[in-house]
Amino acid sequence: MTQAFLSIRKLRKAFGAFTAVHDVTLDIPKGEFLTFLGPSGSGKSTTLYAIAGFQDPTSGDVLLQDKSLLSVPSHKRNIGMVFQRYTLFPHLSVAENVAFPLRVRRRPEAEVKRKVADMLSLVRLENFAERLPAALSGGQQQRVALARALAYDPPILLMDEPLSALDKKLREEIQAEIRRIHRETGVTILYVTHDQEEALHLSDRIALFRDGRIEQIGTGEDLYLRPATDFVAGFIGNSN
Ligand code: ADP
Ligand code: MG
């Protein structure tokens, strides 16, 4: 038994002779905003995909409330996901994109309507319901992706570099949006970025990845003021 909501136990992922993730162990309390930060190729996405069920780990386990997720297929894990370029269905309206995960789950029409309206208001796109994705900006499309990911109230939301295709101003705008949504919904968030400012701005805790291992985990303040290694100091930007 653990007290953790989501627990990652000695997770290892090898691609042939190359090990991308080395026995990562991590406990995430309910409602936490945890960020995987680190340079490109350090194993952040691979760890996230094992949690989502997109890729089976070579060894180790992923537990949600003490139950292993490994035998649960990806679409039954009830984990919301937003990627860097989350392809919305181009032929479906914004409202129908958000409704999609509810229709797949055969929720009654009245509930679908109510939930779509709630979600569009959560991401402040009430007036865009009938548009097609192509008629929206990149930032608005990511907010639709966020609304869709949250539509069926998943206990966990995974985001893999969701803002890296956007310009700085939009990034900051949507960061504020993501913080507000985290506050309002209490969803547990695992967020991947290579941008230390974004990590410091958003997270309750940061796990700093290096070569498939967690070099240090703690609050932004911990990593910034008390870096455990020169690598942490250099990456977080307080190397003096
Ligand atoms: P990050 O998300 O931190 O940029 P990744 O988790 O995507 O890093 O990748 C970690 C390492 O694993 C990288 O060296 C990458 O090239 C390698 N890798 C990821 N996926 C595969 C794959 N399907 N086959 C072989 N190597 C892979
Ligand atoms: Mg990645």
44 alpha carbon – ligand 2 mean position (Å): 6
Work out the percent of the chain whose per-residue pLDDT is above 70. Answer: 97
Could you report the per-residue pLDDT of 51-99, keeping only the tens digit for each? Answer: 999 999 999 999 999 999 999 998 888 899 998 776 799 999 999 999 9
Could you report the per-residue pLDDT of 176-215, keeping only the tens digit for each? Answer: 989 999 999 999 999 999 999 999 999 999 999 999 999 9
Say if ligand 1 is within 6 A of residue 40 CB.
Answer: yes
Residue among 151, 1, 176 nearest 80 (CA) = 151
Tell me the two tokens of residue 33.
């905003």
Burial class (CB in 10 A: 0-12, 13-18, 19+), 216: buried
State the pLDDT at residue 238.
56
Note whether 136 and 166 are within 8 A (CB).
Answer: no
- Is the pLDDT assigned to residue 27 strictly greater than 80? yes
**Ligand 2 is an ion; residues with CB less than 5 A from it:** 45
Q: What is the CA radius of gyration of the chain?
A: 18
State the pLDDT at residue 86.
63
Tell me the pLDDT of the chain averaged across its residues: 93
Nearest CA owner, ligand 1 atom 17: 20
State the pLDDT at residue 78.
87
Confidence of residue 166 (pLDDT cuts 50, 70, 90): confident
State the pLDDT at residue 146.
92
Q: What ipTM does the predicted assembly reach?
A: 0.98
**Amino acid, single-letter form, for residue 168:** K
Higher pLDDT pick, 78 / 44? 44
Could you report the per-residue pLDDT of 208-218, keeping only the tens digit for each? Answer: 999 999 999 99
Q: Tell me the best of 46, 191, 206, 210 to mutate to test the pocket of ligand 1, counting ligand atoms within 8 Å of each CB and taking the most.
A: 46
Say if ligand 1 is within 6 A of residue 44 CB.
Answer: yes
State the pLDDT at residue 240.
43
Q: Which residues pair with 156 in a beta bridge?
A: 79, 188
Say if ligand 1 is within 6 A of residue 20 CB.
Answer: yes
Say if ligand 1 is within 6 A of residue 3 CB.
Answer: no
